[in-house]
């Protein structure tokens, strides 16, 4: 188990090389008794149609689309010999499903395909540490902000002292996840750097470790998790400014009843202090996996 996260990353990279038609489904039971079904097949008949609460309750499941390569938000572990998606986004989604009296079905996709799947009716909501920026808000509706996070810049540890400012990153290769807010931040705040956009975050980490890119921008709790996992990486003192306002849950345009239900759960979780606890719990899982 000592190199557990490395194995998970390797497995993720291996899966990315096979044909897109492959799929895997696992059903697990949470501590609250909510069924969490993980599926990578976007054409599965059990998945959502992006409907209203009445349609979700009729199906008996809430379909959440995510990209499970972003610890501590969402990531994969092996539990009882089966692959399972966990993270604090998953814990929040389970609470939303519980408040609606339905099960949670987790649909695994690449990050840049999440909103497409939502508008195509393959999912009821999207959670992936997603920022409700102006461009995305034109395509989908968003819940209230459920989590605020800063951005971090990862570099190789032996370059931490030399790559310690935005100016020092001029002319360098900066890795970001394709379609993410980090991609936009890098293009705006690092105009003299070469932006390398990759679909999967583990690929970015491997490219950074291999020296093929010089730095990577990800949300701070995610960066902290990877730095703990890989001692060869470090957090740079360089800072970027994130003015986009945190993470929210996306739903298909016009589903105000679903937005209201999600917001009611978010408010309850914030008042009970549970979101902060979910973040702590998710980070503890990451810490345990890399010990």
DSSP string, 151-205: EEEEEEGGGTTTS-STGGGTTSEEEEETTSHHHHHHHHH-TTSEEEEES-HHHHH
Mean pLDDT confidence for 52-65: 94
- Number of Cβ within 10 Å of residue 243's Cβ equals 9
Asked whether the domain spanning 151-235 has the same topology as the one spanning 4-147+245-290, the reply is yes
Architecture of the domain spanning 151-235: 3-Layer(aba) Sandwich (3.40)
Q: What's the pLDDT tens digit per position in 98-109? A: 999 999 999 999
**Among 18-27, 125-134, 202-211, the least confident range:** 18-27
d(CA 152, CA 150): 7
pLDDT band at 162 (very low <50, low <70, confident <90, very high): very high
Average pLDDT, the chain: 84
DSSP H helix total and E strand total for the chain: 10, 14
CA 41 to chain centre: 18
pLDDT of residue 195: 98
By CB atoms closer than 10 A (0-12, 13-18, 19+), residue 213 is: buried
- Asked if 56 contacts 103 with a C-beta cutoff of 8 angstroms, the reply is no
CATH of 4-147+245-290, one of 3.90.1150.10, 3.40.640.10, 3.30.70.3450, 3.40.190.10: 3.40.190.10
pLDDT of residue 224: 87
pLDDT of residue 9: 42
Locate tokens 């996840």: which residue? 177
pLDDT band at 284 (very low <50, low <70, confident <90, very high): confident
pLDDT of residue 31: 32
pLDDT of residue 74: 94
pLDDT of residue 24: 32
What's the length of the chain? 291
Q: Percent of the chain scored above 90 by pLDDT? A: 65
- For the chain, which residues make up each domain, given as ranges? 4-147+245-290, 151-235
């Amino acid at each position: 188990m000592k190199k557990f996260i490395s194995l998970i990353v390797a497995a993720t990279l291996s899966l990315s090389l096979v044909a897109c038609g492959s799929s895997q489904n696992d059903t697990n039971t949470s501590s609250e008794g909510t069924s969490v079904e993980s599926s990578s097949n976007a054409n599965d008949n059990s998945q959502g149609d992006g409907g209203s609460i009445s349609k979700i309750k009729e199906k008996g499941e809430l379909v959440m689309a995510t990209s499970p390569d972003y610890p501590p938000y969402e990531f994969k572990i092996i539990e009882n010999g089966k692959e399972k998606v966990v993270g604090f986004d998953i814990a929040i989604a389970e609470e939303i499903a519980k408040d609606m009296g339905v099960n949670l079905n987790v649909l695994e996709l690449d990050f840049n395909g999440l909103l497409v799947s939502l508008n195509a009716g393959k999912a009821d909501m999207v959670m992936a540490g997603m920022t409700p920026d102006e461009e995305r808000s034109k395509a989908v509706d968003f819940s209230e902000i459920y989590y605020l996070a800063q951005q971090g810049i990862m570099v190789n540890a032996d370059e931490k002292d030399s790559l310690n400012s935005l100016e020092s990153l001029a002319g360098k290769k900066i890795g970001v996840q394709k379609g993410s807010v980090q991609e936009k931040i890098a293009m705006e705040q690092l105009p003299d750097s070469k932006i390398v956009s990759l679909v999967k975050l583990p690929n970015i980490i491997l490219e950074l470790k291999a020296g093929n890119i010089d730095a990577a921008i990800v949300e701070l709790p995610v960066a902290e998790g990877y730095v703990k996992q890989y001692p060869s990486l470090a957090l740079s003192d360089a800072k970027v400014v994130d003015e986009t306002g945190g993470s929210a849950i996306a739903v298909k345009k016009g589903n105000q009843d679903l937005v209201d239900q999600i917001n009611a759960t978010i408010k309850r979780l914030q008042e009970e202090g549970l979101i902060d606890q979910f973040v702590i719990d998710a980070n503890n899982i990451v810490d345990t996996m890399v010990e």
